[in-house]
Amino acid sequence: MNFAPVLDLLSQRLGLDPETLGTSSLRAALSACMRVAGCADPATYAQRLQREPATLAALIEEIVVPETWFFRGGDLFWFVAEQAVLARRDRPGQPFRALSLPCSTGEEAYSLTMAGLELGLTPGLLHVDGVDISQRALAAARRGVYGSLSFRQTDATLRERYFRPVGDRWELRPEPREGVRFLPGNLIDPRLLLFEYPYDIVFCRNVFIYLTAQARQQALANLARLTVAGGLLCMSVAEALPATEDRFKRWGPPAYGLYRRAGDRPGRATIPPLSLRPASSTAPATPATEAPLPLTPALPVVSANLLDQARRLADQGKLEDALAACLAEETAHGASADLFALVGVIQQSRGEESAAQDAFRKALYLDANHREALTHLLVLTQNSGRFSEGSGLRRRLQRLGDEENP
């Protein structure tokens, strides 16, 4: 059978190079999926894959390679956790942000939170997003129940500390799950995580080997966008980037496959300044020569008076005055999660939904557990049909509720 139309589609959509998957197992998987879809002709099947997301998703589940395990790469995770501790010393109050892309069943993401916990990075100080194209892998990651093969490189004491036995498997305890989200996404999609702030480290291991040359370029463009200037990219040693790649330069012990993103300070262009002033504000524009912004702003002391005043004004429907009081608070004491959440509420009342969402996101960036911001953002994402983002927010709210009423 000539599978070429299906293989072409797979390389376009996923970037997969069919040669890397083993011809006979790939053919077997394609034949099985075509049978389930009730389709005998590859060209017709390829057309269905084009227009039926569920048919494509079912095929993806059969062909991806989800192989992964905890602490794959050994000391790498301890090394990265140390970097996180050091980075936080330089910018207290700000979480270290990591992305596991692809995360498969979650072992990479949780290895980092376990290493972080061991080094004192309590929940809230480390935030990890895991992204994968396989919904089945993401569901397993969220479940967090693992068999013995996942522990092939894990110290037994760590397994005892962070897992509880369930039959012949092990269930991750709540603490290493804190601050971890799992989201669907395609590594080569230019819109991947478009609204996320760039990360301090991006793990992208054991997937380039399956990609076509063109897909690697697309993936690298995403990795460059998603890694903060001066931040780290982690590839597997077998997937070294070409020496001509000038956005990333080798860094750290060679065995860890680390690269530093070009740029000597956090990218102002990539991280939106956490300022309340809307672009249309009549306030003077920020001078170009102003001192560089830190990666994320330090958490300031909030002035209860100005914030209370802003709240009262908002309650009275004096939205302009309330915003002015917020600006005064920001000028006097800097940004804070409470302040951004209030600005979001005011903007929502003014019907400025996208500005309001932006404000709630900024609040959550400063305080990932800000209940008011989570709740408002959840409603706004649901209203605009972004259900996958909404379900992540709902889970965070549920977790907060579980903590408060254990």
Ligand X SMILES: C[S@@+](CC[C@H](N)C(=O)[O-])C[C@H]1O[C@@H](n2cnc3c(N)ncnc32)[C@H](O)[C@@H]1O
User: What are the distances in angstroms from CA 149 to CA 168, 177, 237, 300?
Assistant: 12, 20, 22, 45
Alpha-carbon distance of 207 to 151, in angstroms, equals 21
CB of 53 to ligand X, least distance (A): 15
198 vs 257, which CB is nearer to ligand X?
257
> Is residue 19 close enough to count as binding ligand X by CB under 6 A?
no
By residue count, the chain amounts to 406
Largest CA distance in the chain: 74
Q: Exposure pattern of 333-360 as b/e (b: 16+ CB <10 Å)? A: ebbbbbbbbbbbbbbbeeeeeebbbbbb
Specify the residue, 137 or 322, whose C-beta has the smaller distance to ligand X: 137
Q: Is 187 in the site for ligand X (CB under 6 A)?
A: yes
Q: Which of 188, 193, 314, 325 binds ligand X (CB under 6 A)?
A: 188
Site membership for ligand X, residue 66 (CB under 6 A): yes
Smallest separation, CB 107 to ligand X (Å): 6
- Binding to ligand X in span 140-179, by CB under 6 A: none
The verdict on 261 binding ligand X (CB under 6 A) reads no
Q: Please, which residue, 55 or 68, has the CB nearer to ligand X? A: 68
Q: Could you tell me if 334 and 366 are in contact, meaning their C-beta atoms sit under 8 angstroms apart?
A: no
Choose among 271, 270, 266, 220: nearest CA to 247.
Answer: 220
Taking CB under 6 A as the rule, does residue 104 contact ligand X? yes
* x-marked contacts with ligand X along 27-56 as a string, rule CB under 6 A: ------------------------------
- Which lies closer to ligand X via its Cβ, residue 216 or residue 362? 216
Site for ligand X (CB under 6 A): which residue of 137, 339, 341, 368?
137
Cα(78)–Cα(193) distance, rounded to whole angstroms? Answer: 26
Considering only 83, 150, 206, 347, the residue that binds ligand X (CB under 6 A) is: 206
**Candidate list 7, 9, 10, 15; residue touching ligand X; CB under 6 A:** 15
- 180-184 and 126-132 as β-strands: parallel, antiparallel, unpaired? parallel
Residue 134: CB minimum distance to ligand X, A: 4
Total of residues contacting ligand X (CB under 6 A): 21
What is the spatial distance between Cα 67 and Cα 205, in angstroms, rounded to a whole number?
11
Crossing angle (nearest 10°) for helices 53-63 and 42-51: 110
Cβ atoms within 10 Å, residue 255? 12
Q: Determine which residue in the list 17, 108, 200, 389 makes contact with ligand X, applying CB under 6 A.
A: 108
Nearest to 122 by CA among 175, 84, 79: 175
- What amino acid is encoded at 137 in this protein? A
- 347 part of the interface to ligand X, by CB under 6 A: no
Residues 212-241 that bind ligand X (CB under 6 A): none
Binding site for ligand X (CB under 6 A): 14-15, 64-68, 72, 102, 104, 108, 132-134, 137, 186-188, 205-207
